[in-house]
Amino acid sequence: MKTKNILAPACLSALIYVSGCSSVGSDVLAGRNALQTGRPNDAVGYLMRAAEVDPSYKTPFRIREGVLGYLGRAYYETGNDAEARKTLEKAVSLDKDDPLARLYLGLTLLRSGERERGRKEVDGGLKAIDDTLEYINTDRVTGFYWDPGMQIRGAVKKTLAANLDNAQLAVAAERIGIEFDEEIDRARRDEGRSRGGSDSGGGN
């Protein structure tokens, strides 16, 4: 009887943990969908809840993006630069190679007046996006589904080569960041179709 009493709380804790992990994925998915459909305030709600449960959560896709990166982007898009910066600094500290976290940290810094560091982070995020897509493209089996017309990589190279002012850089970088995030879903959907199945691109 004593053993059962000890095991019961442990089993309950495990169930709560598994349930929590599942809800985190669902909230991140809902947050991404809200960002992609122009509802950043809604995204903040979903992503805050997910980050409170597991701030190190990453999407289970080929390009694994962190919940804090998405939450920072949501804060940025609502104009809450203080929370955006704090969240994105933490996201980059957890994963310095997260392309979107670096990109949106740079955009937040630019808008906050820290132009030198802001440009450096934006450039770093853009280069990471380009490097990520170039690496995936070396996969001879499925790499061609990713940025097949090289629109994103072309835009990155053009932006990095141009002598843009801060406002122009921000506009170009925001557009590339949105395209890169949406490319994750487009490529997954196209890969799914090629296998004879269906993949909406938005699931976990």
Q: Which token pair is 123?
A: 């450039």
Neighbours of 2 (CB within 10 A): 6
For 178, residues 6+ apart whose C-beta sits below 8 A from its C-beta are 36
For 34, residues 6+ apart whose C-beta sits below 8 A from its C-beta are 40, 42, 43, 46, 74
Residue 198 lies in a domain: no
pLDDT (tens digit, 9 = 90+) per residue, 113-129? 999 999 999 999 999 99
Residue 28 lies in a domain: yes
Residue 174 lies in a domain: yes
pLDDT (tens digit, 9 = 90+) per residue, 117-161? 999 999 999 999 999 999 999 998 888 899 999 999 999 999 999
Residue 201 lies in a domain: no
Q: Which token pair is 160?
A: 């990095």
Q: Is the dihedral of CA 112, 42, 129, 86 positive or negative?
A: positive
Query: What CATH number is associated with residue 86?
Result: 1.25.40.10
Residue 173 lies in a domain: yes
pLDDT (tens digit, 9 = 90+) per residue, 9-22? 433 333 333 334 46
Domains contained in the chain, number: 1
In this prediction, residues 186-191 reach a mean pLDDT of 88
Residue 196 lies in a domain: no
Query: What is the band of 180 on the pLDDT scale with cuts at 50, 70, 90?
Result: very high
Range of the domain at 46: 2-190
Residue 112 lies in a domain: yes
